[in-house]
């Protein structure tokens, strides 16, 4: 399957920005099919998450991008989001795949993994793509030892697109493409920039120029 090359992850802090929806809409309009905007909210009520996902999913559908809801398959389906992203401690991939099938849903199913064994297990269970890390040292996960681009290279043959995550910026993005990644996932490289929309463009250009 074809997936966006840039996955921008928004947590509770980012989603609490007063301009979050405006930035998200503008980013989707500017990047189109190159962008997946992830909602990784851990503390928001389901109603708030549903409202955000519904708005972003509508804009994503109009631009060819994705809205991805992390962990909440119910919200993903209700909002008609383009994908759900599952972690290792959440709903098992095989169960989520069956729920999507029974609901006649069209959303992609991503799995967050940290090793080749976990990647192959997720793919066997029905994952459409995987988000793999931690690639480089990251302030988001300061206690996690980075595995470098070698972990991405080892997973090139798992059978689905591989998205690298962890400490990635415009300078590091080309290295991920060179070892076979289908895309990159970032937090700080976009949200800590003075202009998040412009930062997303720099990341896409860095990838395309690799």
Q: What is the pLDDT of residues 153-172, one digit of tens each?
A: 999 999 999 999 999 999 99
Is residue 145, in this structure, part of any structural domain at all? Answer: yes
3-class secondary structure per residue, 6-31: EEEEECHHHHCCCCHHHHHHHHHHHH
Query: How far is it, in rounded angstroms, from Cα 201 to Cα 75?
Result: 29
The distance from CA 86 to its chain's CA centroid, rounded to whole angstroms, is: 10
Query: How far is it, in rounded angstroms, from Cα 67 to Cα 51?
Result: 12
Is residue 204, in this structure, part of any structural domain at all? Answer: yes
Count each helix (H run) and each strand (E run) in the chain, helices first.
Answer: 10, 8
Geometric angle at alpha carbon 179, from 175 and 184, rounded to 5°: 60
User: Tell me, what's the pLDDT at 1?
Assistant: 83
Is residue 1, in this structure, part of any structural domain at all? Answer: no
Is residue 205, in this structure, part of any structural domain at all? Answer: yes
**pTM of the predicted model as reported, rounded to 2 decimal places:** 0.96
Residues with pLDDT less than 50, the chain:
none
**Counted domains in the chain:** 1
User: Tell me, what's the pLDDT at 141?
Assistant: 67
| Residues 125 and 159: beta-carbon distance below 8 Å | no
User: Tell me, what's the pLDDT at 137?
Assistant: 81
Is residue 103, in this structure, part of any structural domain at all? Answer: yes
Is residue 196, in this structure, part of any structural domain at all? Answer: yes
| Residues 149 and 132: beta-carbon distance below 8 Å | no
Which CATH number characterizes residue 185's domain?
Answer: 3.20.20.70
Is residue 72, in this structure, part of any structural domain at all? Answer: yes
Is residue 189, in this structure, part of any structural domain at all? Answer: yes
> Measured on CA atoms in the order 104, 51, 202, 192, is the torsion positive or negative?
negative
User: Tell me, what's the pLDDT at 96?
Assistant: 98
Other beta carbons less than 10 A from residue 125's beta carbon: 16
Q: Residue 111: phi, psi to the nearest 5?
A: -125, 135
Residue 43 sits in which domain range?
Answer: 6-209
User: Tell me, what's the pLDDT at 138?
Assistant: 76
Residues 6+ apart with CB under 8 A from 192: none
């Amino acid at each position: 399957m074809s997936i966006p090359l840039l996955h921008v992850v928004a947590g509770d802090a980012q989603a609490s920005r007063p301009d979050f929806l405006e930035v998200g809409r503008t980013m989707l309009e500017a990047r189109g099919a190159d962008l997946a905007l992830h909602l990784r909210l851990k503390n928001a009520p389901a109603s708030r998450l549903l409202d955000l996902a519904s708005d972003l999913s509508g804009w994503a559908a109009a631009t060819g991008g994705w809205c991805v809801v992390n962990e909440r398959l119910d919200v993903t389906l209700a909002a008609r989001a383009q994908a759900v992203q599952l972690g290792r401690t959440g709903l098992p991939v095989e169960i989520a795949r069956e729920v999507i099938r029974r609901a006649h849903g069209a959303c992609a199913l991503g799995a967050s993994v940290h090793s080749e064994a976990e990647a192959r297990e997720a793919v066997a269970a029905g994952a459409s793509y995987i988000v793999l890390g931690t690639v480089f040292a990251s302030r988001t996960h300061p206690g996690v030892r980075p595995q470098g681009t070698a972990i991405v290279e080892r997973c090139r043959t798992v059978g689905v697109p591989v998205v690298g995550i962890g400490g990635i910026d415009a300078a590091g993005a080309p290295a991920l493409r060179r070892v076979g990644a289908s895309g990159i996932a970032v937090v700080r490289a976009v949200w800590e920039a003075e202009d998040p929309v412009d930062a997303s463009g720099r990341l896409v250009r860095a990838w395309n120029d690799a």
